Amino acid sequence: MTDALSNVKKKLQDEITALEHEMSVELPKELMKARAHGDLSENAEFKYAKERQGYVSARLGQLKKRLGDIGMMNLSHIPADRAGYGSRVWVLDVKKSIEIEYKLVSTEEADVTQGLISTTSPIGKALLGRNVGDEVKVQTPAGIKEFEIVRLKTIHEDA
């Protein structure tokens, strides 16, 4: 599972590197070019470049914070007997009588089509800390879902 975190860290670092390049090289060039057009009060290129600069700066802040948060994540603190990050959880959808498998992952790894759900999503949050036999009710955008946990494999068993 450390590999998954390494992949997430690399993905975040790659985006940070690309945005830092844009911020320090490309945007200053665009701003200089836009200034050369004269009157800045009605200069759409200048306005766009300044807005983009603000967006890139904010995004860099978010990414660096997220990278720091992931860097502090200690996999040994994840419970071995309950659902947590990296766990595979098999649930029975009580209303539909079908079994669904979810894997609890970080936001960056989430892909619902593959059963990878974020620990920050409504279903992910509801499953955290749960064990086999627990019944879970979750408020989702599609309405209330009712699940019973039928099987659990934690990150420690998957390793």
Judged against a pLDDT cut of 80, whether residue 70 lies above it is answered with no
Residue 146: the pLDDT is: 94
Q: Where are the domains of the chain?
A: 2-73, 76-158
Interval 70-90 mean pLDDT: 81
Higher pLDDT, 8 or 83: 83
- Band the pLDDT of 86: cuts 50, 70, 90: confident
Asked if residue 57 has pLDDT above 70, the reply is: yes
Running DSSP on this structure, what letter comes out for residue 89?
E
Distance, in Å, from the CA atom of 138 to the CA atom of 125, rounded to the nearest integer, reads 9
- Strand runs (DSSP E) across 1-156, as ranges? 88-93, 98-105, 116-118, 135-140, 143-153
pLDDT band at 100 (very low <50, low <70, confident <90, very high): very high
- Which one is predicted more confidently, 109 or 126? 126
What CATH number labels 2-73? 1.10.287.180
Whether pTM exceeds 0.95: no
Mean pLDDT (whole number) for 102-115: 90
- For 76-158, CATH number? 3.10.50.30
What pLDDT shows up at residue 73? 72
Predicted confidence (pLDDT) at residue 2 exceeds the cutoff of 60: no
